[in-house]
Amino acid sequence: MVNEVFKGMLSGKSIIRELSEYATERGKEIGYENVFDFSLGNPSVPAAQEYADEIIRMHEEDNPMAIHGYSPSLGNTAVRTAVAESLKERFGVDYETKHIFMTSGAAGALAHALRAVTKPGDEVITFAPFFPEYTPYVKFTGCELKVVPANTADFQINVDAFIEMLNPNVQAVLINTPNNPSGIVYSQETLRTLAGILEEKQREYGHDIFLISDEPYREIVFDGKEVPYPSKYYDNTLSCYSFSKSLSLPGERIGYVAVNPLATDADILAIIMGQISRGIGHNCPSSSVQLGVMKCLDLTSDLTVYERNMNLLYDALTRLGFEVVRPGGTFYIFPKALEEDANAFCMKAKEYDLILVPADNFGCPGYFRMAYCIDTEKVERSIPVFEKFVREQYPEALA
Amino acid sequence: MVNEVFKGMLSGKSIIRELSEYATERGKEIGYENVFDFSLGNPSVPAAQEYADEIIRMHEEDNPMAIHGYSPSLGNTAVRTAVAESLKERFGVDYETKHIFMTSGAAGALAHALRAVTKPGDEVITFAPFFPEYTPYVKFTGCELKVVPANTADFQINVDAFIEMLNPNVQAVLINTPNNPSGIVYSQETLRTLAGILEEKQREYGHDIFLISDEPYREIVFDGKEVPYPSKYYDNTLSCYSFSKSLSLPGERIGYVAVNPLATDADILAIIMGQISRGIGHNCPSSSVQLGVMKCLDLTSDLTVYERNMNLLYDALTRLGFEVVRPGGTFYIFPKALEEDANAFCMKAKEYDLILVPADNFGCPGYFRMAYCIDTEKVERSIPVFEKFVREQYPEALA
């Protein structure tokens, strides 16, 4: 019979997808250029040209069996080696080939990393605001996702609430920096504090607690800064990466898990993830896509548009009376709504063709997310509309 | 902590992989051309040229965002429509777009199809001989895999044993035609009998029993015959396909599930599989690979080498006294070993650099599998070696 659990999920449609579909429909009525669609985190800059060049070259010149043959279950060995070397050079962590497991994007990376270090019934902790897909990701491992409430002052972590939530049943902690939806980059201090707490609790509980670090926005960072690399701060770290945002290849489903060489069982964790693949039907990302990204490991698409858009929006929102923490990276900004109910706020904005996502599902009621991976010209045109919306609906904010 | 279940699996290495690794190592000693490696089912003919041409064209001409953007979670809509139309035209089943779910190869297809129609604790029945990976595929859904013993007379299904094994706890039946490892194509009669039994049992138990049909070898069929299409015989069928063998693209991980339009919940099963994806981290095959195969749906690589190799081996094995059912398709042949213990038989063959896979893991002790997706020239050279092996080790077979 058709599985009732999954059937039941069909009614719980994603608010992001619903708003995005609305924006598309509305675009058919008034022209999509007139819909200020900030709903979806779909990269708006073209893929790196070097990627296309390499794909064309290999399909013209290389032996088809070498391009399209079965990749080993942990990923193409040359690609894994190249990833290890690139990370080692960049972050100073001594990765070797055996620490890298190639995956279908960050979703695939998280699916394997979570299963590798938990068993059904365990608890996994994450921090609000968080990407809503973490809920199904964790739920289908059989674990329970516990959410530490947001620290809305700066969207670093809420240390006291975190410590209170820890217990011997917690086997993994899931972080995301730079963060979707807040755009915040965890500071060195945050990572040091987190590591210190986890080390202490490992000793106290007598078992490992793994840090699963979701890093698809690692390369989208502003003001010329570097993102502190979580694995440098805590040995039991599994770094989950995707090339979706850095190379603008979200549809290609390509990423990896990098196991910290000092983690418990570091030498076998990638092999364990290979076993997990047999059960969940993953069996490696595309062989040619693996070879393509191997040539672009230290490149990115031209990501400058995101910083330009962020500055425009941050200035405008601040001027309009919004409470908003300035993003350090990503292509999201996360202001507080101008009324308590962010859903009601976003419904009103929709009347102005401003498509904003209320953050209840991100574990942070009262806030909303804007994805500004759109053309700068459209961001510029959205600002007077935003102004009109606030002036008409929330005049007190402008006072 | 590292998951002990998966850690425990590390010792249970696949015999196929072990033999294949041995063959590679041995090749370094004596030259791989001198190792008669029949271990791995890796296609030996190049990918269809039309596929490479289309990949090159799109990377040269198309908008990168259209090629590499997020694909909807059920797959690119145009690709799904094209698959539905191609199947409808070819097999006369009235598929529409909504019945197609794009997957990462057949492994991904089976992972989703199994989860969609079972729940943990259910039973799934398959027929020996069977592809050993079915064991982890089913195990990690939480279901139990029951295996109907082989009908070694012709490797069609063992009807009596099947009926005896059925009970109200069985929610799905998993078949594979053309079959890995036997090479046998299920006859129309077999499929009609199977359908009749399942229809009767559905009525008796008062619930659906889904037929999950694994069909990666559908296009590799001999003597100019057509493979009877299981979904034509039984409404509650989910056809699981991969382009790995027909287009020689195993590393690209591209396939689909086609839901029979007359199946229970046919209109929502693909959507349910989309929900399952969120839990197991699959999230679609590569967007560019989907677009590439869309141009090749009714094409295949040049597959004639497989039939040529089969005929050479079938004639030789028969002449040497082997009991062997002539394959109707695939690139496998499945003879009875010349002693009761097929492991011992294959170990002796290894001394002659004949790499054969004993079939205990395929649920059929006493038999062995040969994958003849290798150059015909090598198949030809293997025959005198086979003859020497049999003459020296099993002279009574030649009598």
Q: pLDDT per residue over B88-105, tens digit each?
A: 999 999 999 999 999 999
% of chain A at pLDDT higher than 90: 89
Cβ pair B3:A119 closer than 8 A: yes
Residues in chain B closer than 8 A to A254 (CB atoms): 286
Residues in chain B closer than 8 A to A171 (CB atoms): 1
Strands (DSSP E) contained in chain A are 36-37, 100-103, 123-127, 144-148, 170-176, 210-214, 237-242, 255-259, 332-333, 354-355, 357-358, 368-371
Residues in chain B closer than 8 A to A300 (CB atoms): none
Of the candidates B10, B46, B253, which has its C-beta nearest A286's C-beta?
B253
Helix/strand/coil for B173: strand
Residues in chain B closer than 8 A to A281 (CB atoms): 103-104, 107-112, 137, 280, 282
Helix/strand/coil for B309: helix
Report the relative pairing of strands B210-214 and B255-259 from DSSP bridges. Answer: unpaired
CB A209 within 8 A of CB A202: yes
Of the candidates B42, B139, B272, which has its C-beta nearest A7's C-beta?
B272
Nearest alpha-carbon partner for A317 in A356, A287, A343? A356
Chain A residue with minimum CA distance to B141: A279
Chain B residue with minimum CA distance to A245: B69
Cβ pair A283:B207 closer than 8 A: no
Helix/strand/coil for A347: helix
Cβ pair A252:B133 closer than 8 A: no
Chain A residue with minimum CA distance to B106: A281
pLDDT tens digit string along B115-143? Answer: 999 999 999 999 999 999 999 999 999 99
Cβ pair A70:B119 closer than 8 A: no
pLDDT tens-place values along chain A, 399 residues long? 788 888 777 766 678 888 988 999 999 999 999 999 999 888 889 999 999 999 999 999 999 999 999 888 899 999 999 999 999 999 999 999 999 999 999 999 999 999 999 999 999 999 999 999 999 999 999 999 999 999 999 999 999 999 999 999 999 999 999 999 999 999 999 999 999 999 999 999 999 999 999 999 999 999 999 899 999 999 999 999 999 999 999 999 999 999 999 999 999 999 999 999 988 887 789 999 999 999 999 999 999 999 999 999 999 999 999 999 999 999 999 999 999 999 999 999 999 999 999 999 999 999 999 999 999 999 999 999 999 999 999 999 887
CB B246 within 8 A of CB B46: no
pLDDT grade for B278, boundaries at 50, 70 and 90 = confident
- Cα A319 to Cα A397: distance, rounded to the nearest angstrom: 10
Chain B residue with minimum CA distance to A45: B65
Of the candidates B59, B269, B284, which has its C-beta nearest A2's C-beta?
B269
Query: Min CA distance, A292 vs chain B (Å)?
Result: 12
Go through the domains of chain B in sequence order and give each one's CATH number: 4-47+301-398 (3.90.1150.10), 66-294 (3.40.640.10)
pLDDT of residue B152: 97
Residues in chain B closer than 8 A to A283 (CB atoms): 104-105, 107-108, 253
Interface test with B, best of A288, A302, A374 (most B CBs within 10 A): A288
Query: Min CA distance, B387 vs chain A (Å)?
Result: 31
Residues in chain A closer than 8 A to B69 (CB atoms): 42-43, 250-251
Does residue B13 have a pLDDT over 80? no
| Length reported for chain B | 399
Cβ pair A118:B3 closer than 8 A: yes
Q: What is the pTM of this model?
A: 0.96
- Cα A70 to Cα B302: distance, rounded to the nearest angstrom: 19
pLDDT of residue A83: 98
Residues in chain B closer than 8 A to A252 (CB atoms): 68, 286-288
pLDDT tens digit string along B20-76? Answer: 889 999 999 999 999 999 998 888 899 999 999 999 999 999 999 999 998 888 999
CB A349 within 8 A of CB A356: yes
Residues in chain A closer than 8 A to B302 (CB atoms): none
Nearest alpha-carbon partner for B146 in B135, B159, B157? B135
Cβ pair B1:A69 closer than 8 A: no
Structure tokens at A140: 């289908």
